[in-house]
Amino acid sequence: MRYLTLSLLLVALIATIGLGWLFDQLYDHYQQTENTQITANQNTDDTQAIEKLGLGLAKTLDVLPNRNKFIQQWQKNKQAYTLSLTAVKDVPLPIELLKSIKQGTPLLLETSNNLAFHYYLPISNELLILKLPLLSLSSNLNSREKAEDDALNYFLTFTFYFVLLLLFLLWASPLVRQLLALRKAAKAFGEGNLKQRINLSSISYIRDIETEFNHMAQRIENLVADVKLLSSAVSHDLRTPLARIRFGIDTLKEEDDPILRRSFEEKISNNVDEMTSLVETLLSYSRLEQTMLAIKKKPVNLSQLIRQCVNSHKTEGVNIRYHQSINNINILADKNYMNMLVNNLLTNAINYGEGEVLISLKLKHELKKDCIELVIADNGDGIQTEQCEKIFLPFVRDNQNIKKVKGHGVGLAIVKRIIEWHHGNICINRSIELSGAEFLVQFPVQRNLY
């Protein structure tokens, strides 16, 4: 579920912060550009209008005899625009500007607070100065401009929420597909299709759930298969000793010779022991799935564990060679079950071999991922190719070696189950060096153990 949480947090951050910042930047840039253009256009229009107003006033005042009184009256009305008359000689202007004004071209001067339009009055040889505040040219937008601004705001808001919704839909669509696939797989599995599994993708929000579903489905399938095999084993393997016991009891009733009676009693006792052993084996194997719930994985020095198993199996007539690439190879596993796994494979190699056993342990580097590789080989007859897959099923034994060693065919089934618990795999090959069976076991490497 961590992928789901992280992806949801990432989408939320991108949607709220990233999109908000992006739209703010676009809006500010647009507003700045629009305001600059509007202000420039408006200033140009206002300047031309005021310039024409000043020209009209200048022509009128030039012919009025009481123009000073007109200006005083103008000032009393507290107009935003101020008027004043100044003699040309009192205004320090460059000669070129003065010639231009006298030719009828108004002069515009700008300060930090106001604008001043200068007009020449040829009759009185004076300059009419029309001043207005600078802010007067930065008036509010007209109703049309406000409407356009509001429309822009609405458009950007709608676009923001649309992109936000689209982003969440893009994020949620894989999750919806994965949940629908999970629902479909669970429904098919519930209807009896025990082979149903979920195809894991490289990127999935619910990868943990999908993985656990596949593990659960595999365990249920194994349990159902084990129940069938157990019932088959009980009906087949128990039938023979039961028949012998029944025959022995019937014979014992009719036999008076104490020596023969003692012989039949011993045979009946051996058959009972065989049945007891088989029942205990059945019960032990049936408890394997329950034991998995209590499995405890800790760092285990696999190199040292194999050396201990080799030392405990050293006997006369058996040559066990052990090679390892490095001194310490660690694995995250349950030590007891790893010990059981190595002992079972080693016991099989000793029992079915001809006195030569070769064990190798190494770290193998592959393109996709590194792995720990354990190989146990013997110099026996090997295992037939058609039996390589079946040999890992409980109560299944190799036909050509079935009479060589007594057993119930559960050891390799336990090995297979332990390897599955530790997310490894096992395969059977023909040993190149010893020509017998070669069991190749691989486990994933835990980087934090090195």
In tens, the pLDDT along 225-275 reads: 766 766 665 666 667 677 778 888 888 777 778 888 888 788 888 878 877
* Strand ranges in 177-329 using DSSP code E only, listed in sequence order: 298-301, 319-324
Asked if the model's pLDDT at residue 141 lies above 50, the reply is: no
- In the chain, which residues fall in CATH 3.30.565.10? 297-449
pLDDT grade for 398, boundaries at 50, 70 and 90: low
Contacting residues for 383 by C-beta, under 8 A, at least 6 apart:
391, 398, 428, 437
- In the chain, which residues fall in CATH 1.10.287.130? 207-290
Q: What is the spatial distance between Cα 360 and Cα 325, in angstroms, rounded to a whole number?
A: 8
Q: What is the spatial distance between Cα 267 and Cα 276, in angstroms, rounded to a whole number?
A: 14
The confidence score (pLDDT) of residue 441 equals 95
What values do phi and psi take at 425, rounded to 5? -150, 160
Most confident of 28-37, 151-160, 272-281, 332-341: 332-341
The confidence score (pLDDT) of residue 258 equals 83
Q: Sheet containing 425-430: which strands, arranged edge to edge?
A: 319-324, 356-364, 371-378, 437-444, 425-430
Asked if the model's pLDDT at residue 138 lies above 50, the reply is: no
For residues 30-34, average pLDDT: 60
State whether residue 194 is helix, strand or coil.
coil
Q: What is the spatial distance between Cα 120 and Cα 100, in angstroms, rounded to a whole number?
A: 10
pLDDT grade for 291, boundaries at 50, 70 and 90: low
**The two structure tokens encoding residue 370:** 């590194």
The confidence score (pLDDT) of residue 235 equals 64
Lowest-pLDDT range, 14-18, 104-108, 114-118?
14-18
Most confident of 240-249, 399-408, 433-442: 433-442
Query: How deeply is 6 buried, as exposed, middle or buried, from its count of CB atoms within 10 A (0-12, 13-18, 19+)?
Result: exposed
Which of 319 and 238 is assigned the larger pLDDT? 319
Asked if the model's pLDDT at residue 66 lies above 50, the reply is: yes
Global confidence as pTM:
0.50
Q: How many CB atoms lie within 10 A of CB 67?
A: 20
Question: Using one digit for the tens of pLDDT, what is the confidence trace for 161-220?
Answer: 777 777 777 777 777 788 888 888 888 888 888 888 888 877 776 778 888 888 888 878
For residues 376-383, average pLDDT: 90
Asked if the model's pLDDT at residue 115 lies above 70, the reply is: yes
- The separation between CA 239 and the C-alpha centre of its own chain, rounded to angstroms, equals 54
State whether residue 192 is helix, strand or coil.
coil
Superfamily of domain 297-449: Histidine kinase-like ATPase, C-terminal domain (3.30.565.10)
pLDDT grade for 29, boundaries at 50, 70 and 90: low
Render 146-185 in DSSP notation, one character per residue: HHHHHHHHHHHHHHHHHHHHHHHHHHHHHHHHHHHHHHHH
Which of 91 and 400 is assigned the larger pLDDT? 91
Lowest-pLDDT range, 66-75, 121-130, 349-358?
66-75
Closest alpha carbon to 300 in 333, 269, 344, 263: 333
Q: What is the CA radius of gyration of the chain?
A: 49
The confidence score (pLDDT) of residue 121 equals 83
For residues 14-20, average pLDDT: 65
Asked if the model's pLDDT at residue 332 lies above 70, the reply is: yes
What values do phi and psi take at 50, rounded to 5? -65, -35
Indicate the average pLDDT of the chain. Answer: 77
% of the chain residues with pLDDT over 90: 11
| CATH for the 207-290 domain, from 3.40.50.300, 3.10.290.10, 3.40.718.10, 1.10.287.130 | 1.10.287.130
% of the chain residues with pLDDT over 70: 74
Q: What is the spatial distance between Cα 173 and Cα 247, in angstroms, rounded to a whole number?
A: 70
Asked if the model's pLDDT at residue 97 lies above 50, the reply is: yes
DSSP secondary-structure letter at 18? I
Contacting residues for 340 by C-beta, under 8 A, at least 6 apart:
414, 418
The confidence score (pLDDT) of residue 276 equals 80
Closest alpha carbon to 310 in 374, 246, 220: 374
Q: Residue 26 in contact with residue 156, Cβ under 8 Å?
A: yes
The confidence score (pLDDT) of residue 296 equals 79
Alpha carbons within 13 angstroms on the beta-carbon side of residue 76 total 6
Which of 270 and 308 is assigned the larger pLDDT? 308
The confidence score (pLDDT) of residue 139 equals 46
Alpha carbons within 13 angstroms on the beta-carbon side of residue 380 total 24
Q: What is the spatial distance between Cα 171 and Cα 152, in angstroms, rounded to a whole number?
A: 28
Lowest-pLDDT range, 140-149, 340-349, 411-420?
140-149
State whether residue 119 is helix, strand or coil.
strand
| Strand partners of residue 322 | 359
